[in-house]
Copies of this chain bind each other. A is one copy, B any other.
Amino acid sequence: MIEVEIKARCSPEIRKKIAALGSRMLGVENHLDLYFNSPLRDFARTDEALRIRTKEEGVRLTYKGPKLDEDTKSRREVTVRVDDPEALTEILESLGFVGSGTVKKRRTKYALGEAVLCLDDVEGLGTFLEIELSGDEDWSVQKREAQELMAELGLTESIRRSYLEMLAEKDPATDHLDRI
């Protein structure tokens, strides 16, 4: 499945505009994301990601392929639910994968038509809005829809860097490897 995704920095006040568009709040999640790098190729160069996400609802392992275009974060994503993040970390490390960083955030999710709006308070970075739509082979419609929605909210930026990359740029001395 293709995850069409646009991200922009915003003010926490944007939640009023999101509400005014007629969105429905889906809930609040606290994410602890552990990222891993491959022993085979540097995911920072190949633009891939391997992540264990722990949130209230449970734990998931996600692989993200390289971004598919030049102006959004759209990419192939595959996810499985798992029951034990520590055992999974031990398996990944046994296979040669190396922890590359941790991202903690509080995500407020809204539904608006087919789109999911994620308002993220990211520890150490600030507030961001991500607009997500699921697509298949032809995801140009979803991409345009997400871009139009961003514009309606007064946001014209499109950040393609991950929170992990942004944290590393902000503070290169820290490897953001603190664990649970």
Contact = CB atoms under 8 A, between A and B. Distances in A.
Interface of A: 38-40, 48, 50, 61, 63, 65, 78-84, 87-88, 90-91, 94-96
Contact of A80 (B38, B39, B87): B87
A90 B79 CA distance: 9
A87 B76 CA distance: 12
Within the oligomer, what is the number of copies of this chain?
Answer: 2
A80 to B, nearest CB: 5
Contact of A95 (B50, B80, B84, B90): B50
Contacts of A96: 38, 40
B95 A91 contact: no
A95 B65 contact: no
Give the dominant DSSP class at A's interface.
Answer: mixed
Contacts of A84: 80-81
A120 B159 CA distance: 54
The 4 nearest A-B residue pairs measured at CB = A81-B83, A63-B91, A80-B87, A80-B82
B94 A87 contact: no
A89 to B, nearest CB: 9
A94 B78 CA distance: 9
28 contacts: A38-B95, A38-B96, A39-B40, A40-B40, A40-B95, A40-B96, A48-B94, A61-B82, A61-B91, A63-B90, A63-B91, A63-B94, A63-B95, A65-B94, A78-B87, A78-B90, A78-B91, A78-B94, A79-B87, A80-B82, A80-B83, A80-B84, A80-B87, A80-B88, A81-B82, A81-B83, A81-B84, A82-B83
A82 B65 CA distance: 21
Contacts of A80: 82-84, 87-88, 91
